[in-house]
Structure 1
Amino acid sequence: MNNTGGGYLRRLVRRLTSDVGELDADDLSERSQAFGAQHACDCQCGQEAVVLGRLRSVGQAPKASAPTLEAELFDGTDGVTLVWLGRRRITGIEPGRTVKARGRIAVRDGHKVLYNPYYELQNTA
């Protein structure tokens, strides 16, 4: 059997035996790389980064004294919290949307954060 057939069969078996969450994470990871973004798992504190992923949750920061909007972006490898200071809502920033974000990675309570990131809403098609 040639390599092409073996690779196809291996991918088919993986698709049939993997759970949906795992397959979705793989698709997000591949899409992120195809759009020239970095994997979130590879981003380091202090580094300028571009990440692309799906927003898992969006809400206001519970402890913030000033308005603060937070969104959890997942790219298939790791999560990054996007934080917009002074904002309560941003049109288009909602769970399920795919977003490309750029900024300097910080770490807060052991989690990666981008404060006031530049962002682009991506088409889902």
Structure 2
Amino acid sequence: MSNTGDGYLRRLVRRLTSDVAELDADDLSEMSQASGARRACDCKCGEQAEVLGRLRCVGMVPKASVPTLEAELYDGTEGVTLVWLGRRKITGIDPGRTIKARGRIADRDGHKVLYNPYYELQNTA
């Protein structure tokens, strides 16, 4: 069998034996790289980054002084928390939605964060 056939067979066996979450993570990672975005696992604190992924959860965090909308973006490799200060809701920022976000990566308690990121809602049709 040729190398091309071996690669196809290997991918087919992996697809048949992997769980759905693992396959979804692979698809998200491939979609992110194809869009030109960086993988979240490769982003470092202080760097400008553009990431693409699916929003896992979205919620308003009441603070004493300023309400904050937070969303966890997952690109198949790692999560990045998106934080919009002073916002309670943003139309289109909903769980399950795919978005591209960019800004400077920060660290909050060991997790990657983008504060007030620029974002684009993505069509997933």
- Normalising by the smaller structure, the TM-score range is over 0.9
* 1:73 equivalent in structure 2: 73
For residues 12-91 of structure 1, what are the structure 2 equivalents within 5 Å? 12-63=12-63, 65-91=65-91
Deviation at residue 65 of structure 1 after TM alignment: 3.1
Amino acid in structure 2 at the alignment position of 1:115:
Y
In the alignment, the residues of structure 1 paired with residue 29 and residue 81 of structure 2 have an alpha-carbon distance, to the nearest angstrom, of: 17
Amino acid in structure 2 at the alignment position of 1:7:
G
**Which stretches in structure 1 are left out of the alignment for 5+ residues?**
none
Deviation at residue 118 of structure 1 after TM alignment: 0.2
Q: Which portions of structure 1, spanning 4 or more consecutive aligned residues, are displaced by more than 4 angstroms?
A: none
* 2:105 equivalent in structure 1: 105
Change over 3 Å in CA distance of 1:62–1:92 after alignment to 2: same
In the alignment, the residues of structure 1 paired with residue 106 and residue 52 of structure 2 have an alpha-carbon distance, to the nearest angstrom, of: 17
In the alignment, the residues of structure 1 paired with residue 91 and residue 25 of structure 2 have an alpha-carbon distance, to the nearest angstrom, of: 25
In the alignment, the residues of structure 1 paired with residue 97 and residue 53 of structure 2 have an alpha-carbon distance, to the nearest angstrom, of: 8
Amino acid in structure 1 at the alignment position of 2:25:
A
With normalisation by structure 1, the TM-score equals 0.97
In the alignment, the residues of structure 1 paired with residue 68 and residue 83 of structure 2 have an alpha-carbon distance, to the nearest angstrom, of: 7
Deviation at residue 109 of structure 1 after TM alignment: 0.7
User: How much is the aligned-residue C-alpha RMSD, in angstroms?
Assistant: 0.9
Deviation at residue 3 of structure 1 after TM alignment: 1.1
Amino acid in structure 2 at the alignment position of 1:13:
V
Residue aligned with 1:38, SS: coil
In the alignment, the residues of structure 1 paired with residue 50 and residue 64 of structure 2 have an alpha-carbon distance, to the nearest angstrom, of: 26
- Identity among equivalent positions (%) equals 83
Change over 3 Å in CA distance of 1:64–1:23 after alignment to 2: farther
**Which stretches in structure 2 are left out of the alignment for 5+ residues?**
none
